[in-house]
């Protein structure tokens, strides 16, 4: 695991957030536009849960109203019409976000397609087409897909078409290796949810470099840099500032507004903990993977199996909530 501690090229008069930005691309993990304007991240990520939460706020009601109005005369009914409205809503949020951030936005495929390779591909095409119809080039979009075997295979095909993918709900090295072998653009290993599982299972607290979530991302980072993979590592799902600081130097980190605020308030020094050059010198073994090996290794990892399944169920539940909300308005 990386243990480099190169100091950020910044005075401690800078906030931790500004120091971190010198070491890592900072990404906003939110659907809230105002927090993006405040903290000025490079990219932004969304998911069904964040979009559903945002639609509950009066200031974002116009996006839902617009998606419904734009599809009022659509020659579709029932579930097909609601599905189309949701796609328009997701893209509507993405377009507003891209007015704020200079980089990319991640838009998630329906979690109920997590085990459907062809369905995932089709939905990705629909989302990309909607963005392009609105003048947004595909280079500014990351399609978020769950890190199942089927999701990874769909992403592999999408990448060959020039559609960049962000593989989410990722909790283990086998998932990360399969993503890198598929040449996906970016992965989002979930630090906080790994930490949650070990904390609950072992009934103990973890801090600093001993945090299992931190260790998981550091191991993935080292593996990628050791073997020259171009897939970007973006730590996600943080529970505290300490986890973020321990992963300074990661390619990207996606951070919620409350933790961005804490980083902006602190003047404590931030040092590089993950280092690509140091990783190349480490004794890291290759992990050959085929489908059977992937499924077996994932099955053997109780945490990764449980957290991947749980995450898919939660995202799917929030899509259903969004569908019911829209059905009530339609």
Kindly report the number of other CB atoms within 10 A of residue 129's CB atom.
13
Cα three-residue angle 111-98-157, rounded to 5 degrees: 45
User: What count of Cα atoms within 13 Å lies in the side-chain half-sphere of residue 54?
Assistant: 25
Radius of gyration of the chain (CA): 19
Angstrom distance (rounded) from CA 82 to CA 322: 9
Contacts for 210 with CB less than 8 Å, ≥ 6 apart: none
N- to C-terminal Cα distance for the chain? 52
Torsion angles phi and psi, residue 171, rounded to 5? -130, 5
The token duo for 172 is: 């283990």
144 classed as catalytic: yes
- DSSP secondary structure string for all residues of 241-253: HHHHHHTTTSSEE
Closest CA to 141 of 155, 124, 154: 124
The token duo for 297 is: 């290794």
Active-site residue (options: 81, 144, 225, 273): 144
Catalytic residues: 144
């Amino acid at each position: 695991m990386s243990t480099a501690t190169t100091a950020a090229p910044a005075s401690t008069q800078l906030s931790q957030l500004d120091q971190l930005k010198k070491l890592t691309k900072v990404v906003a993990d939110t659907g809230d536009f105002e927090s993006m304007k405040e903290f000025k991240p490079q990219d932004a990520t969304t998911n069904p849960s964040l979009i559903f939460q945002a639609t509950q706020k009066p200031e974002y009601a116009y996006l839902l109203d617009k998606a419904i109005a734009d599809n009022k005369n659509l020659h579709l009914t029932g579930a097909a019409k609601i599905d189309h409205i949701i796609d328009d809503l997701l893209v509507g949020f993405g377009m507003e976000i891209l007015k704020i951030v200079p980089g990319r936005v991640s838009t998630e495929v329906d979690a109920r397609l997590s085990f459907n390779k062809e369905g995932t591909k089709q939905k990705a095409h629909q989302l990309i087409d909607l963005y392009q119809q609105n003048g947004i080039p595909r280079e500014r979009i990351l399609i978020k897909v769950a890190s199942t075997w089927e999701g990874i295979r769909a992403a592999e095909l999408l990448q060959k078409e020039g559609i960049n993918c962000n593989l989410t709900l990722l909790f283990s090295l086998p998932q990360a290796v399969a993503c890198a072998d598929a040449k996906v653009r970016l992965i989002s290993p979930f630090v906080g949810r790994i930490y949650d599982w070990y904390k609950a299972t072992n009934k103990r607290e973890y801090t600093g470099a001993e945090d299992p979530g931190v260790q998981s991302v550091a191991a993935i980072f080292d593996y990628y840099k050791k073997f020259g993979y171009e897939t970007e590592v973006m730590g996600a799902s943080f529970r505290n500032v300490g986890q973020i600081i321990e992963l300074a130097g990661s390619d990207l980190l996606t951070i919620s507004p409350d933790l961005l605020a804490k980083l902006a308030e602190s003047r404590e020094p931030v040092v590089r903990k993950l280092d690509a050059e140091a990783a190349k010198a480490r004794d890291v073994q290759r992990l050959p993977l085929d489908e059977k090996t992937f499924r077996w290794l994932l099955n053997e990892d109780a945490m990764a199996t449980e957290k991947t399944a749980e995450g898919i169920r939660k995202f799917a539940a929030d899509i259903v909530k969004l569908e019911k909300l829209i059905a009530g308005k339609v």
